[in-house]
Amino acid sequence: MTAMQNVSLGSHYAVHLSAPDDFAFWRERARGLIQCDVPPDRVSWIEPGGTGDLFAAEGPARGEKRLPPPPADPRPVRASQRFLTIARSAALHSDPARFGLLYRVLWRLQSNPRLMEDKADTEVRRLEEFAKSVRRDAHKMHAFVRFREVEEEDGTPHFVAWFEPDHHIVRAEAAFFMRRFANMRWSILTPRGSIHWDGETMREGPPARREDAPQGDPVEALWRSYYASIFNPARLKVGAMLSEMPKKYWKNLPEAELIPQLIAGAQAREAAMVAAGARAERARPGTLTEVAQGAAACRDCPIAECGTRAVAGEGAPGAHLMIVGEQPGDQEDLAGRPFVGPAGQLLDDYLARAGIDRGAAYVTNAVKHFKFTWKGKHRLHQSPGAKEIDTCRWWLEAERAIVQPRIVLALGASAARGLLGRTVSVNQARGAPIMLDDGAELWVTVHPSYLLRLDGAAREQQAALFAQDLARVRERFAERVG
């Protein structure tokens, strides 16, 4: 009597798996059953200790009927590469029916080798869905495992993470974490079992509880700042984000507490990014007229909505001296010309005393629009912020590239920042030149409106220093330009 006849008499086989993720064991048993021609409805596939027990003790279960010996001339078992790839993942699914399904598809493959290509077949589709769900779970584990540092008794750091997988993926994914964190000592605890790496060997452990893992430590601050820095507001799609990072994982992720505020700030940040992107694509103006037109149309920062107009620089394109103020004031905004109000008049006065011809200089501002706040009927000057100055640098840099002055005079800290891209202290910077990237000398002094706000001895003292600074610039101008 052949093995096939033996089975056809009605034997039923219960195959007890040694572990719920043991694909190799299933494969070996399935081959034997196919070779003995045991149809799927005569086999039960039984997991150890139920679906949650990854590391239950192995061993034959009571009542298992021994498989018949394979026939002397076993026929080859057909399994396409596609089936094996999908089966390897699907075997890790948490559905207890997976091994039975795998065997049914393998059984049918023997008479229909192209079965896996049949997209309409419900069993093939189910298998593919299982595999997909397992791959997705693995992806989540790669992305959302967060280690907390604990110190061992011998003082060495040990990184421990808690993760709740949907499927039996922990052992299969151990190699990924081993490669990524090869030099660290770490453990990943899960309700389906644990894995521990000491830098050399991998050890498996029993299922764990959330309380077994440490909560919160300084490593989290790193994750939080990393996440905030990589968060791309322009790509924010709340629905997609929730499906990619389901709320279930949030409690383990230190960066998750940032999500609501990042979502809230996303629109503003996106607008800034769009502006920066547009600017990167915008051609740098080649003439002062283009600068004036470009600044007038510019909406890269909120100040652009203030005031009447952008106030362009004024002066000869080839001027050897460039004078840079902060931003137009009330009168400049109305007149459309820089330094025509009270601060401008004071500046003219001191320039003349120092022997500097304003008419031969190019005069402009770090920020081209007037930033103000209403007080009754009056528009009160407000200083631009660093961000606004930095945004407007695009125009100031363009002006400097066109005019190519040998000496640049910055009036106040905002002007200095506009020219340098960083904040300097006027008192520390004044009295000595700072070399700019194109070889021009930058001289920094106070803004004339500062003198207007002082009186008495303080004003006299500051006015003298201001005059001294301008005299130095005049001297240097004579040395460099003639």
Question: Strand, helix or coil at 234?
Answer: helix
DSSP class of 266: H
Of the residues 254, 294, 313, 344, which one makes contact with ligand URA according to CB under 6 A: 344
* 160, containing H or E segment: strand 157-162
> By CB under 6 A, is residue 20 in contact with ligand URA?
no
Q: Which of these ranges, 172-180, 184-192, 221-229, 322-330, lies near ligand URA under the rule CB under 6 A?
A: 322-330
Of the residues 325, 384, 405, 418, which one makes contact with ligand URA according to CB under 6 A: 325
Q: Which of these ranges, 81-89, 256-264, 315-323, 331-339, lies near ligand URA under the rule CB under 6 A?
A: 331-339
Residues 447-466 that bind ligand URA (CB under 6 A): 449
What is the C-alpha to C-alpha distance for residues 476 and 279, in angstroms, rounded to an integer? 36
Q: Which of these ranges, 69-77, 147-155, 238-246, 327-335, lies near ligand URA under the rule CB under 6 A?
A: 327-335
CB of 406 to ligand URA, least distance (A): 22
Q: Which of these ranges, 22-30, 207-215, 272-280, 335-343, lies near ligand URA under the rule CB under 6 A?
A: 335-343
Of the two residues 254 and 341, which places its CB atom closer to ligand URA in the complex? 341
The answer to whether residues 124 and 102 touch, using CB atoms and an 8 Å cutoff, is no
> By CB under 6 A, is residue 328 in contact with ligand URA?
yes
What is the C-alpha to C-alpha distance for residues 462 and 412, in angstroms, rounded to an integer? 13
> By CB under 6 A, is residue 339 in contact with ligand URA?
yes
Q: Which of these ranges, 205-213, 313-321, 339-347, 349-357, lies near ligand URA under the rule CB under 6 A?
A: 339-347
* 196, containing H or E segment: strand 193-197
Query: For 68-72, which contacts have Cβ atoms below 8 Å and span 24 or more sequence positions?
Result: 68/3, 68/6, 68/7, 68/11, 68/36, 69/3, 70/3, 70/32, 70/35, 70/36, 71/2, 71/3, 71/4, 71/35, 71/36
First to last CA, the chain: 116
> By CB under 6 A, is residue 350 in contact with ligand URA?
no
What is the C-alpha to C-alpha distance for residues 305 and 313, in angstroms, rounded to an integer? 19
CB of 347 to ligand URA, least distance (A): 8
Q: Nearest-5° angle of CA 151, CA 153, CA 159?
A: 30
Beta bridge partners, 399, equal none
Residues 362-381 that bind ligand URA (CB under 6 A): 365
> By CB under 6 A, is residue 445 in contact with ligand URA?
no
> By CB under 6 A, is residue 343 in contact with ligand URA?
yes
Q: Is the dihedral of CA 457, 381, 309, 303 positive or negative?
A: positive
Of the residues 332, 388, 441, 469, which one makes contact with ligand URA according to CB under 6 A: 332
- How many residues touch ligand URA (CB under 6 A)? 13
> By CB under 6 A, is residue 384 in contact with ligand URA?
no
Interface contacts to ligand URA, rule CB under 6 A: 325-329, 332, 338-339, 341, 343-344, 365, 449
